A and B are shown apart, each in its own frame.
Chain A
Amino acid sequence: MTAPTTQIYQVFIKASPERIWDAIVNPDLTEHYFHGSRIEITAERRVSRGPDGTLRGDGWVAEYDPPRRLVHEWRPMYDPDLAREESSRVTWEIEPHEDGYCKLTLTHDNLEGAPRTAQHVSGEGWMFVLSGLKTLLETGGRLDGANARADATPRHASTGS
């Protein structure tokens, strides 16, 4: 089965739009949930680097409207097979809801020229990132290895950042 060329992921997060936005564009926070990547997003560019500083992604930013809407190019460099494919597009939308929740919708589209990338990010790819983002914002914890489950002790959000 080929992965869809438009993929939508949606999650409710108990945090303010500003905190969610910060968690998306601030490398000190992205490294806790985005496969260890330090991702810096400005109104012009999105640059992603691994823990050792190697470039994992570099793309333009099409829309930068904090804390509501962010659209950027997805040009992966962490894998040579993916890097050869055409770039695609990622849209983040943050909508405030009642009770202090926000609805975060991530749309990854324009994947027609990038079937391997579509496969790579589908299912667990974005899901892992988004559930990690939710965990980070709601509990301050990290969603990897031993911390992934049953760690009910809320840690302070600034720990380790």
Chain B
Amino acid sequence: MVDDDRVFKALADPTRRLLLDLLFERDGRTLTELESRLDMSRFGVAKHLRVLEEAGLVVTRRSGRTKLHYLNPVPIQLIHDRWIDKYTEGPASMLADMKKTLEGER
């Protein structure tokens, strides 16, 4: 329910990351709208959305007869706080900055 495993597993799939990006672009979309942006069956998209929902990354709301999908960014923030912040200090941060600077110069 609350474990990081579900979030990591949900994020491990490129289609699910794409779905999150689509919701970030515009929140509160229906399955039909999301499906139209992917080369995948309605059933397949629904399955991915369910995994995202179980991981808490997507929250659904009913609006009349339609179900809207909303991005919930909190689990990613918590993972960031727990797993990323502490490793990005010091040398790792310096290398990341260096990469950014060098790649930005191209």
Contacts and interface: CB of A to CB of B under 8 A. Distances in A.
A6 B28 contact: yes
Nearest to A124: B77
Given A6-B70, A12-B1, 4 more contacts: A4-B27, A8-B59, A8-B72, A124-B77
A7 B73 CA distance: 10
Interface stretch (A16-24, A42-50, A79-87, A97-105): A97-105
Contact of B81 (A99, A123, A149): A149
B59 A99 contact: no
Nearest to A3: B27
A7 B25 CA distance: 13
For the complex of A and B, 6 pairs with smallest distance between CB atoms: A4-B27, A12-B2, A8-B70, A10-B72, A11-B74, A8-B59
Chain B binding surface SS class: mixed
Contacts of A157: none
Nearest to B25: A1
6 contacts: A6-B28, A7-B70, A10-B74, A101-B2, A127-B73, A131-B78
A11 B55 CA distance: 11
Interface string A103-122: 00101000000000000000
A9 B78 CA distance: 12
Contacts of A107: 61
Interface string B54-82: 00100101000000001011110110010
A131 B77 contact: yes
Contacts of A127: 73-74, 77
Interface in A10-34: 10-12, 14
Interface residues of B, number: 19
A149 B1 CA distance: 23
Contacts of A131: 74, 77-78, 81
Contacts of A105: 59
Q: Which of A10, A107, A123 has the most CB of B within 10 A?
A: A10
Nearest to A1: B25
Contacts of B39: none
Nearest to B27: A4
Interface string A57-71: 000000000000000
Contacts of B103: none
